[in-house]
């Protein structure tokens, strides 16, 4: 390991240790023990963050990785729903809670909305590292129910693609791709924050009467969004789920069903979201499924699917990822292409996902690039990721031009760099 890698590994381990939250919650006296995204800005448990933390924790102690998932699964509901946030220490974090508002609560302690289903990939990674099939059998039931819930509640047009009902559900809260539907100007500045909050509140008000019938919400067409990144993660999750079902020793019929569903989602992405002229994928906005043509890293995300048509994968990499006018900046991969009017690498808007580079995106695309025979490009991304963390610390996101750190300090999923470094040394 080189000197900068060693420093980054030590910092990542420090953050995973320092962000750990343990205790007994006022939420029914349940015990919690998990790594939060940031003790000051984000002290709660978030669904996709925890899945990323579990993967990073495999490089510290696999038992901590299992515990992270066990803690998360306490949010799973009998109908299959799993919330995007669990507010374990709600009382102690009133100030942080005001910062993450507006959220839509299903219960005083958890939200009524979801986040990308990274959890199946995380559990498969835990099994690959530990060979612990009992753990898989333990956590599989709520995860399987969640993937069934997604199909039943979030795919009302039955095209294979799941729909989101508000921007935070993708985890890409203020991405400019949502601006038009949210009524936000693309030249967003700090002053647009209240505008965004009002827009979110409008959605929640429209949904309120349907609290007990969540399957009817996407058909309201207030904010119905088939997101390419979310659906690529969903397809990958279904593929992992098929493997987990086999590992648990459950009937092969079910594994076959999840594999077939994974194929169907990938096929839907390739037929409904692919733009042959531009050589990218577009999210589909609204019930009318209008392609949302704002170029963000989302447009490249089906690269994470091994079975993506190799010709499309090649175009994504050669024409876009490696394009210096779009994504190939000094510290890739920016969340928004450099040529977009909304591109805000310096975090001027003070809202997220409008330009800076995030390590969870680099992590996913790293593995996708390797799966598509582009290990050279993947290695370069790790070099630059290590360089920016070494330079600026374990931050929430980074300026893709300079590598300067932005957003929260000591941010949880940036520790995915542990997995990237291990992979580059042949150890993942």
Binding interface with ligand GLC (CB under 6 A): 37, 42, 46, 48-49, 171, 173, 352
CB of 277 to ligand GLC, least distance (A): 31
CB of 109 to ligand GLC, least distance (A): 17
Beta carbon nearer to ligand GLC, 46 or 258: 46
Residue that is written with structure tokens 């995300």 in the block = 301
Q: What is the dihedral of CA 389, 178, 46, 165, to 10 degrees?
A: -160
Q: What is the dihedral of CA 100, 102, 108, 110, to 10 degrees?
A: -60
Q: What angle do CA 259, 168, 234 make, to 5 degrees?
A: 5
Beta carbon nearer to ligand GLC, 117 or 171: 171
159, 268 in Cβ contact below 8 A? yes
CB of 47 to ligand GLC, least distance (A): 8
Q: Bridge partners of 21?
A: 34
Q: Report how far residue 137's alpha carbon sits from residue 131's, in angstroms, rounded to the nearest whole number.
A: 12
Beta carbon nearer to ligand GLC, 259 or 351: 351
CB of 54 to ligand GLC, least distance (A): 14
CB of 49 to ligand GLC, least distance (A): 5
Q: Report how far residue 353's alpha carbon sits from residue 133's, in angstroms, rounded to the nearest whole number.
A: 37
Residue that is written with structure tokens 């949904």 in the block = 207
Beta carbon nearer to ligand GLC, 19 or 259: 19
Q: Bridge partners of 292?
A: 283
Element (H, E) at 107: strand 105-107
Q: Pick from 235, 288, 240: which is nearest to 262 by CA?
A: 235
Q: What is the dihedral of CA 353, 355, 356, 358, to 10 degrees?
A: 50
Q: Report how far residue 175's alpha carbon sits from residue 66's, in angstroms, rounded to the nearest whole number.
A: 31
Beta carbon nearer to ligand GLC, 37 or 160: 37
Beta carbon nearer to ligand GLC, 46 or 331: 46
CB of 199 to ligand GLC, least distance (A): 16
CB of 311 to ligand GLC, least distance (A): 31
Beta carbon nearer to ligand GLC, 230 or 423: 230
């Amino acid at each position: 390991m080189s000197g900068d890698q060693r420093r980054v590994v030590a910092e990542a381990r420090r953050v995973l240790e320092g962000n750990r939250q343990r205790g007994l919650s006022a939420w029914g006296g349940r015990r919690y023990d998990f790594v939060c995204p940031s003790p000051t800005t984000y002290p709660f448990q978030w669904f996709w963050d925890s899945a990323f933390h579990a993967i990073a924790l495999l490089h510290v102690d696999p038992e901590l990785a299992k515990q992270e998932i066990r803690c998360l699964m306490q949010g799973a509901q009998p109908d299959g729903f799993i919330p995007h946030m669990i507010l374990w220490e709600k009382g102690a974090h009133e100030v942080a809670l005001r910062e993450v508002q507006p959220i839509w609560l299903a219960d005083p302690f958890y939200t009524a909305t979801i986040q990308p289903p990274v959890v199946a990939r995380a559990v498969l990674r835990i099994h690959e590292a530990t060979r612990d099939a009992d753990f898989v059998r333990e956590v599989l039931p709520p995860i399987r129910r969640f993937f069934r819930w997604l199909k039943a509640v979030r795919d009302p047009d039955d095209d294979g693609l799941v729909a989101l009902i508000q921007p935070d559900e993708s985890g890409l809260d203020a991405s400019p791709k949502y601006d038009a539907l949210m009524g936000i100007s693309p030249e967003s500045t700090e002053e647009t924050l209240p505008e965004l909050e009002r827009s979110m509140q409008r959605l929640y008000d429209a949904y309120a009467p349907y609290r007990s019938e969540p399957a009817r919400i996407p058909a309201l067409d207030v904010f119905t969004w088939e997101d390419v990144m979310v659906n690529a993660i969903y397809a990958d999750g279904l593929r992992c789920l098929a493997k987990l079902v086999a590992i648990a020793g459950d009937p092969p019929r079910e594994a076959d069903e999840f594999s077939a569903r994974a194929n169907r989602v990938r096929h839907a992405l390739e037929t409904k979201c692919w733009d042959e002229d531009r050589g990218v994928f577009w999210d589909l906005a609204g019930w009318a499924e209008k392609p949302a043509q704002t170029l963000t890293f989302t447009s490249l995300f089906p690269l994470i699917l091994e079975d993506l048509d190799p010709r499309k994968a090649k175009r994504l990499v050669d024409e876009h990822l490696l394009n210096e006018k779009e994504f190939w900046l000094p510290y890739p991969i920016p969340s928004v292409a450099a040529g977009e009017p909304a591109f805000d690498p310096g975090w001027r808007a003070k809202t997220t996902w409008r330009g800076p580079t995030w390590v969870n995106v680099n992590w996913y695309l790293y593995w996708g690039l390797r799966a598509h025979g582009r290990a050279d490009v993947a290695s370069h991304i790790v070099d630059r990721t290590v360089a920016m963390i070494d330079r600026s610390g374990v931050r929430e996101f980074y300026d893709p031009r300079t590598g300067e750190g932005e957003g929260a300090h000591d941010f949880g999923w940036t520790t995915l760099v542990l997995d990237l470094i291990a992979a580059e040394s042949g150890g993942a």
